[in-house]
Amino acid sequence: MEGTIVNYRKSVHVQTPNHVIVQIASVDSKEKAAKFVGKKVIYHTGKKDMIGKINAIHGNKGAVRAVFETGMPGQCLGQKVKIE
């Protein structure tokens, strides 16, 4: 399955670079997105793979939140990730 990194998890004053919002292809509801909680997310960089985990749904349109160990680079926004 494939998804797209949409944005970082943010609040009014704080941006959390190791939490990202991922929109999964062909998922358009909370119920469908809930099936992906607990799955692995892999972002391929040039040198290594960054591995995270989906920990919650985000909103009502099928987006999910993924947590990575390290902060994600700004170049990752809009890029594809693999979901296993």
pLDDT tens-digit series, residues 7-20: 999 999 999 999 99
- Say if residues 84 and 42 touch (Cβ distance below 8 Å): yes
Q: What is the pLDDT of residues 9-66, one digit of tens each?
A: 999 999 999 999 999 999 999 999 999 999 999 999 888 999 999 999 999 999 999 9
Q: Which domain holds residue 75?
A: 2-83
β-bridge partners, 52? 41, 68
Q: Rounded to whole angstroms, how far apart are CA atoms 30 and 35?
A: 9
Predicted TM-score (pTM) of the model is 0.91
Q: Considering its fold, how many domains does the chain have in total?
A: 1
Q: CATH number, domain at 37? A: 2.40.10.190
Q: 49 pairs with which residues across the strands?
A: 44
Written as six digits, the tokens of 75 are 């170049």
Overall residue count recorded for the chain in this entry: 84
DSSP three-state, residue 82: strand
